[in-house]
Amino acid sequence: MINILANDGISNSGVEALQKSGFNIITTNVAQEQLESYINKENISVILVRSATTVRKELIDKCPGLKIIGRGGVGMDNIDVDYARSKNIHVINTPAASSGSVAELVFAHLYSGVRFLHESNRAMPLEGDSNFKKLKKSYAKGVELRGKTIGIIGFGRIGRETAKIALGVGMNVLAYDKFLESADIKLEFMGNKSIDFNIKISKFEDLLQKSDFISLHVPAQKDYVIDKNELSKMKDGVGIINAARGGVINEIELVSALESGKVSFAGLDTFENEPKPEIQLLMNSKLSLTPHIGAATNEAQDRIGLELAEQISNLLK
């Protein structure tokens, strides 16, 4: 019997698919420092993680029985991928499964920002009955997304899903990706209708200067993608969303840009200092905040579980 440890959880549909293929699936959450002894003692062949558990060289060296490391989701920065593969361990992920969910969260933050929902949802419970007219006036200068320009930095699967929603809303899309010159997008509607778009890749500087809103969709980097210099080139009153990775935007510079009014609002789903985001971010009323839930929809988790199960079955059967 092949034992699989889903250390950061897996959907019921994934569990059922794996059991149906004859695998023993364990969903106990083992603390990082106890992983090595657990994997060896329980004879684990496959470890599945999301973003919480890390699988580094030390763990790989000490667990010779590992055959597959699976990441439910896209980014594999918590796994020493090349090293694992050099030890003939398969490393798998599910890059397409959660793209639509992340893109929808980006727009949840965008709508929250342009209509002050994150602020009014804090203020209404406190002052909704005593200061209704004052609040009504405070939040009276909303703007529409339709007709505005969104700049999408990183035009892989999630960037493209974000572009689809933007096109559906009636926005102008600028995209930057250092590996592409253009990208074809199929916008699908109910009733088997669809429209094809070809998005030409913009210069990074142009995107910074022309976008009303900017959304980041890049993997973890050594350096900030958005730092003081990049912020200075943006339109006054720009809105910024980071549902990619903590550390792609300089949070200290972001806060000062929010304070100066250079940036009108920002939406953050990921933070440099997870799981303890900086207090000045948490307390800032111009920030719409979520606790790294981009891929956390029932539909995405179902797709992730089924996709992992299928890949594991193909590799081990």
On whether both 259 and 153 belong to a single domain, the answer is: yes
On whether both 79 and 127 belong to a single domain, the answer is: no
71, 292, 303, 307: which is the annotated catalytic residue? 292
104, 274, 278, 310: which is the annotated catalytic residue? 274
On whether both 71 and 150 belong to a single domain, the answer is: no
Nearest-angstrom CA–CA distance, 75 and 101: 15
Average pLDDT over residues 169-188: 97
On whether both 285 and 166 belong to a single domain, the answer is: yes
- What's the number of domains the chain is made of? 2
On whether both 137 and 44 belong to a single domain, the answer is: no
CATH number of the domain where residue 81 is located:
3.40.50.720
274 carries an active-site annotation: yes
On whether both 134 and 237 belong to a single domain, the answer is: yes
Q: Which residues pair with 279 in a beta bridge?
A: none
217 carries an active-site annotation: no
What are the tens digits of pLDDT across the range 209-261?
A: 999 999 999 998 899 999 999 999 999 999 999 999 999 999 999 999 999 99
What are the tens digits of pLDDT across the range 55-69?
A: 999 999 999 999 999
Q: β-strands 194-200, 182-188: how paired? A: antiparallel
Say how many residues make up the chain. 317
What domain range includes position 43? 3-95+298-316
Average pLDDT over residues 122-128: 97
Nearest-angstrom CA–CA distance, 113 and 149: 15
245, 251, 253, 303: which is the annotated catalytic residue? 245
127 carries an active-site annotation: no
On whether both 205 and 304 belong to a single domain, the answer is: no
Residue type present at position 78: N
Q: Considering the entire predicted model, what is its pTM?
A: 0.90
